[in-house]
Amino acid sequence: MMAEPFEPGARRFRRRRRRRRDGKPRRGLYLLPHLVTTAGVFFGFWAIVHAFNGKYDLAALGIVLAALCDAIDGRVARLARATSRFGMEYDSIADTVSFGVAPAILAYSAGHLSDLGRTGFVMTFLFTACAALRLARFNVAPSRYKGRFEGMPSPAAAGIVASTQWFVSFLREQDVQVFVPGAAVAAGVAILGLLMVSAIPYRSFKELDLRHSYGTLVLVVFAIALIVQEPSVTLFVIGLLYAASGPAEWIYRRVAKRPLQRLAEPAEGQPVQG
């Protein structure tokens, strides 16, 4: 008995449906999170170019847009069931450009750290090196505490550099004469770098329940309204408060003897999820 002419195509269709039932994503969905990560690299490179050209506010915008891409690429990968070791490594390389190199170049250029000679160069390089180390540690070693990052996240440190640039520009637009010494800029980026590689726990906010907690939802909506009202001021204040929150909570818990809940150590040879 002869087979029907469309049977091979039907078999291929059935195989594709079986693969989708098995949880394997379509090729387009598999590439989607990588495209979002690539967009983050683009904005980081964009920030570097604008910093070299003296367009510091646009450079800060590039860093913020790269942070938005970094915030959603992991979620896109999970929704598309396209998480992979390659995606994690690519994300870390992209973050090194966007949150390690770009903020350092912005601080070096906008803060005129070339006037400090070798000191300015070393301080900004310290930020880049610490960001790379922080990202490498995040890939291979989980946080020891529930709901916490170990050390300040690199996007947060980069965001503080970007929001500081916006805040200074805002003050100058209000005819407020602002002079930030190069030594203060160099010290600031060095402190941010050290906070990234420190063992100080920082809140991750990944456990916020916006679907079942009405109070949390109201707080988030209020924060968004403040950011929209005057982002150059609000983001700067939020960044400073977040940077200070880690050491402040760490000191409080040590004094009050209220340690954080430790997570179980992963078994030897078990892969670590970033």
Q: How far apart, in whole angstroms, are the C-alpha atoms of residue 103 and residue 161? A: 6
Compute the average pLDDT of residues 182-209: 88
pLDDT exceeds cutoff 90 at 190: yes
Q: What is the pTM of this model?
A: 0.81
| pLDDT average, residue stretch 81-102 | 87
- Per-residue pLDDT of 133-155, as tens digits, reads 999 988 887 677 877 888 999 99
Give Cβ neighbours of residue 245 (< 8 Å, ≥ 6 apart). 202, 203
Q: Give pLDDT, residue 273.
A: 39
